[in-house]
Structure formats: structure tokens, C-alpha cells
Structure 1
Amino acid sequence: MAEGSEGDKERSMKRLLLMVNCLLLVIGTSGGPLIMRLYFLRGGHRVWLSSFLETAGFPFMLLPLAVSYLRRRSAAAEARTAKPSLISMKPPLLAASVFIGVLTGLDDYLYAYGVARLPVSTSALIIATQLGFTAFFAFLLVRQKFTSYSVNAVVLLTVGAGVLALHTSGDRPPGESVKEYAMGFVMTVIAAALYGFVLPLVEMVYKKTKQPITYSLVMEIQFVMCFSATVFCVIGMIINNDFKVIPREAKEFKHGEVNYYTVLVGSAIMWQAFFLGAIGVIFCASSLFSGILIAVLLPITEVLAVIFYKEKFQAEKGVSLLLSLWGMVSYFYGEIKHDRKMKKKEKNSDMEATEMPQLQYT
């Protein structure tokens, strides 16, 4: 009975963590692209700086990591066991996190390059194709099992992204050449494919590592990944002389110098929420679910772009939003149905075990 109660408590805690990370992902997915586009629309031009900001908020992770360490140390003191180490990551996991971080830094640059040259609606359309890449790599790397509901969700969300393509013709920003627009398009497609690979790769690392994965360890992985990605982008900034240009760019920013730095800090916070939410959802659920949630939120970004940047909301965007919501409902319905089926199966197994005749020894 105690074991069952402990299991229910653990499941409830995991659901709470899933909700928190979903909220972080909602904030990051919706706010990150908008504030990044604001930087470019109001006079910003540095692609490496924008890619740097996507992971530069990693120092914010030190606070929850410190709280987690103090709690573990207090628990160890009460149990009279050895003090936990400040860093719980073992070398293989550390190396894997650094590698994924470098890939993330490259993806940050590709995405920032696309956002600098494409409208929010177009970049959101292209990034929505990431779900197809995530599903493909999840099948290859972690042998993701697909139900009819999850397949339906992937199809609906992909079709929803395709519907948005109906209004992309003629949306090239004024003063931008066809070559620049095409490069932005290609870079964003590559960014979608690369992050579609990164999400299942993180899940594979969780499954293959030989140490137990806790949420505290997930935060450490996030810290190392973002630190590595930031170092990668800093090298690019140094080569591109971005640090020398920042003060001049701040003075020329259309909303003023103070607002320029506010946009930079806000961008770092938004993107940190996105990355922590993404790998947190993988920890609590799966990389496929993380990819589906990102795809579902992209039409929301479209709506926010209409509100804040006065972009037109064509009928295609409404249809895309409807298909995305339908896909989300399909996925969640399938998950709920599967969960109920598993609980019923476990209950029947427990009843059969109880009813089995006990052997008598004389």
C-alpha cells in the first residue's frame, strides 16, 4: 500500500513538473521569436549577437541549481549520509551535454539568420516543419512508438504548417534582395531540421546515461548545453566584431538606448525559458511531445505577430490555427486513452497476482 502511495506521489510530482515546463515552453516559444524580430525591425543587424542571446541567459539557472543543491544537502544531513557533490554530472554525460550545446549554438545562428530576413509568419511556417524532423529522428534514435492519435497529430500539425505556405508569396521585406530572402529561407529550414535532431538526441542521452536522471540533473544538463552554445556564439561575435558595434547600435536603435538593452535582456530570458521548457518536457514526457507542443504554439506566435506587428491575419492562418489545435487535442486524447489502458492493465495484473493460489509447505 505504501509503495502504491509513493508511486502516486511520484506521478503527481512529474505531472506538476510537466505543467511547469509546458508553461516555460509556452512563454519561450511565443515570446522568443517576437522579441528577436523586434530587435531586427527597430534597427538591430547583428545575427551573431541574436544567436548569442538565445542561450546567454544560462546564469539564471544558478539560482534553482543552488536551491536544489541545498535541499539535497539538507536531505543528506537528515539521513546522515555523505554530502552530495556540487556537480552531479559524470564525465560521459558532461561530454554529451557539451556536444549537444555546440549543435544548439549552430542552430541558434541558423535560426537568427532566418529571423533577420523573414517575416515572423514565414519563419514560424518553416519552423513548424521541425515536427516532421523530430518524429523521424525520434523513431531512429529512441524507437519512439506511434499510435494512430500521435500520427494523426503529426499529420494535422504538418498540414497546418503547409496551409500557411499559401500566403508566403510576395512577403519579402522591403529593401531585401531575392538572394537574401532565399538564404534566410534555406537557413531556417536547416535550423528546423537540426533542432528536430537535437530534441530526440537529448532524450537518447537521458536513456543511455548510466546515472539516474533527476530534474536537478536536467537543470545541470541545460546549464552546460547553454554555456557551450553561448561560447560557440561568442567566438562568432568576436570574429564578426559584434562587441565593438553594440554601443553604436544601441545609440541608433529606434526606441532608444535603454530599450535596446531591455530588448537584449528580455530576449535572453525568453529563450532561456524556451530551452529549459523543451528539455524539461522531454524529461517528463518525450521528445515527440516537446516537438508537438512547439508546433502547436507556432500559430499562437502568428496571432501575436498580427497583434504587435500589424501583420495581416489571412484565412490561411485561421485554418492553420484550427488544424494545430485539432492536432493537439488528438495527441492528448490518445495519451489519456493510453494512460487509462495501462492503468487498467496494471490493475488486472495486480488482481491476478492476488488471486493466485499460495503454495503450502509442510
Structure 2
Amino acid sequence: MKSNKEMEADDVSRRRRLRRALLVLSCTMLAVGNCAGPLIMRLYFIRGGNRIWLSSWLITAGWPVMPAILLISYLRRRSHNPEKAKPFLMKPGVFLASAAIGVLQGLDDYLYAYGEAKLPASTAGLVISTELAFTAGFSFILVKQKFTAHSVNAVYVLTMAAAVLAVRSNDDRWKGESTAEYVFGFAMMLAAAALYGAILPLIELMNKKVVKTAEISYTVVLEIQAVICFSATAFCTVGMLINKDFQAIPREAREFQLGEGKYYLVIACSAVVWQLFFVGAIGVIFCASSLFSGIVTTLLLPVTEILAVVFYKETFHAEKGIALALSLWGFFYYFYGEMAANRTKATAPETVDQMLIAQEA
């Protein structure tokens, strides 16, 4: 029969394996959403779509998927313990905080969609990648993110990778676009990067507050994300109603260059892949940190550039290849630093409880 210490160690090991599995799954969803989302949004705009509020609405419109998952989780909990099972695990304060963050997310969605509509792929990718620097800054302020030489170097290299893409951004400029439209689109995309750079640490901060008051689980994380996406969708719905986007959808579908049926397919796919992005992003924050979520997102920027070359026949300049190499270097350098830090912790004379706290902090 195992001693209490052995059972404690087994429990820690099990929870760590589960967290690693969730991290891999979250990174996969984040990668799919981060690469496919901008490409589908760009397909909408280059084939005749021009509704910015609709595009921003679609970024979080897939939120009903999460309540369906949460219902399954509730039914499973109820089958194990009918008396103590609760439909919702989050506290009222967390609900209100999530709703407030959702409004910020809705505003960020509009800023991002506006930038995507006005900027070419290279420039849009360059500007939105500055989100990593904003995330690092806000992480330091809000959640006291600890920086090592590896993480600082990774942020620097990834930012340089994005900067390389600026070399030929003017060559990809839309024909007939005025300087004012270009500059305003640039400013809107930069604002989107800054705002999302603040949203990620805010979510991490909220998670830490939940840990102080109750046992957090991935179910609570999904509840938080469902509220955020619902609130963001409600914000964008108001914009759509004011701008009369709902009435314009049938007409725009008939005029879509790929056909009416594919117009609705593009809209549906956009909502699905963006939801994968958000579930993946909050999962990465839960299993790692907001900074790591920003690093993964920035790593995928050159991948999106390559996919744009494949699907939209955009020119693949040498600068894009350099950016890809720098991004891979920055990502693996950060990952190597994290592995080295974990090995150092493992050799320190800590108890099992202290090690688990350090892993989940």
C-alpha cells in the first residue's frame, strides 16, 4: 500500500501530465485558428466583402460551441455527484470581470477587422505582431511576469523577425488606396495589437484571482471564455445593428465573387476557426502564461505569410524567409530557457506541494 507521500507524488505527476496534454491541445487549436482566421477574413475582403462590423462579429460569433461543451461537463459531474454538481462554477465577480474583458475584446475585434480590410497581408502581420511587446509589458505590470535572459532574448528576436517584414510592406500596398486610408488602417491595427496585448495578461490576472478563492479547473476556464466571447459578440452586434450589416448580408452574398453559397461557407468557417483560436489562447494562458500565448502567436506569423503565398499567390520575398528563420530561433530559444529553468527547479530541495505550486504559479 502506498504511503501518503507516494500518493501525493502520483497525484502531482497525474496533474502535470494532464496539464501538458491540455497545453499541447491548446497550442494546436491556437495554431489552427491563428493561421486560418486571418486567411479566411482576407478571402472575404478580396472577393468582394466589405462589412467590417460583420467581420469583427464573426471573430467571436462561434461562442455557442462552448456552452455545449460545458453542458457535457456538467452532466458528467452530475452523474458522479448529483447533490453537489453545479451548472456554473465561476463566481459572480469573475462573471462580471469576464463580461468587462469581453467588451474590450469586441472593441479589439473591430480594430483588427478594420486593419485587415485596409492593409496588405505583410503590413497587417507586421503591425499585429507588435502585440508580443505589448503583452510582455502588460504581463510585467499586471501579473509580475518574471523575465529571464532567454525570454527577453526570445521577445527581442521575435520582434526583429516581425520588423524584417516591414522592408517590402510598401510593395504590397492595395492599388488605389489613399495615404489617409493606409495610415488610418495602420493606426487601427496597432491599436488592436496594443489592446490585445493588455487583454491576455488581464485574463491571466483573473485566473490568478480565481485560484486564490477557489479551485480552478479547465471547466472554469471555458466558462470564462464563453462569457468573454458572448460579451464581445454582443458589443459587435450593436455595431452591426447601427451599421445595418444584417440587412446587407443577403445583397453582399449575391454579389460575392465566389458565389452566394461559398459566401455563407466563408462566414461559417470564419466563426469556427476564430473560436478555435480563442479557446486555444485561453488554454495556453491557463496551462502556461499570457506571455507564452503571445510568443506562440508571434511564431505563427511567418507561417501565415507562407500560407498567404500558397493560397493567394502573394510574393515570397527573401525577407519573409529571414523572418521565418528568426521566429523559429526565438521560439526555440524561449522553449530551451523554460526547460532549463524547470530542470533547475527539479533539482532544488522542494517538497511535492512546493513543486506543484511552482508549476501552477
Q: 1:225 aligns with which of 221, 225, 228?
A: 228
**Which residue of structure 1 aligns with residue 96 of structure 2?**
95
1:62 positional shift: 2.2
**Which residue of structure 2 aligns with residue 355 of structure 1?**
none
Q: Any idea what SS the aligned residue of 1:313 has?
A: coil
Matches within 5 A, 1:1-362: 1-77=6-82, 82-209=83-210, 210-346=213-349
1:176 positional shift: 1.7
Asked whether the equivalents of residues 57 and 269 of structure 1 are also in contact (C-alpha less than 8 Å), the reply is: yes
1:68 positional shift: 1.2
Structure 1 vs Structure 2 CA RMSD: 1.1
Map Cα deviations across residues 197-244 of structure 1 (whole Å, 9 max, x no partner).
Answer: 000000000112322221000000110000000000000000001011
CA distance in 2, matches of 1:60, 1:10: 26
Map Cα deviations across residues 174-204 of structure 1 (whole Å, 9 max, x no partner).
Answer: 1221111111111000000000000000000
1:31 positional shift: 0.3
CA distance in 2, matches of 1:187, 1:60: 29
Asked whether the equivalents of residues 122 and 172 of structure 2 are also in contact (C-alpha less than 8 Å), the reply is: no
CA distance in 2, matches of 1:160, 1:37: 22
1:170 positional shift: 3.3
1:63 positional shift: 2.4
TM-score (norm 2): 0.94
**Which residue of structure 2 aligns with residue 358 of structure 1?**
none
**Max Rg structure:** 1
1:171 positional shift: 2.4
Map Cα deviations across residues 228-264 of structure 1 (whole Å, 9 max, x no partner).
Answer: 0000000000000101100000000000000000000
Q: Any idea what SS the aligned residue of 1:107 has?
A: helix
1:145 positional shift: 0.2
Map Cα deviations across residues 72-121 of structure 1 (whole Å, 9 max, x no partner).
Answer: 112224xxxx3321111211000000000000000000000000011122
CA distance in 1, matches of 2:331, 2:183: 31
CA distance in 1, matches of 2:162, 2:132: 10
CA distance in 2, matches of 1:179, 1:213: 47
The one-letter amino acid of 1:274's match is F
CA distance in 2, matches of 1:346, 1:235: 56
**More displaced stretch, 167-176 vs 146-155:** 167-176
Q: Any idea what SS the aligned residue of 1:168 has?
A: helix
Asked whether the equivalents of residues 121 and 305 of structure 1 are also in contact (C-alpha less than 8 Å), the reply is: no
TM-score (norm 1): 0.94
Map Cα deviations across residues 36-81 of structure 1 (whole Å, 9 max, x no partner).
Answer: 000000000000000000000001112221121122112224xxxx
1:271 positional shift: 0.5
The one-letter amino acid of 2:54's match is L
Asked whether the equivalents of residues 111 and 188 of structure 1 are also in contact (C-alpha less than 8 Å), the reply is: yes
**Which residue of structure 1 aligns with residue 356 of structure 2?**
none
The one-letter amino acid of 2:200's match is L
Asked whether the equivalents of residues 122 and 166 of structure 2 are also in contact (C-alpha less than 8 Å), the reply is: no
The one-letter amino acid of 2:30's match is L
Asked whether the equivalents of residues 35 and 300 of structure 2 are also in contact (C-alpha less than 8 Å), the reply is: yes
Structure 2: where are the runs of 5+ without partners?
1-5, 353-361
Asked whether the equivalents of residues 295 and 324 of structure 1 are also in contact (C-alpha less than 8 Å), the reply is: yes
1:287 positional shift: 0.3
What is the aligned residue count? 345
The one-letter amino acid of 2:307's match is L
CA distance in 2, matches of 1:346, 1:330: 27
The one-letter amino acid of 1:146's match is F
The one-letter amino acid of 1:172's match is R
Where does structure 1 differ by over 4 angstroms across 4 or more consecutive aligned residues? none
Q: Any idea what SS the aligned residue of 2:334 has?
A: helix
CA distance in 2, matches of 1:323, 1:39: 30
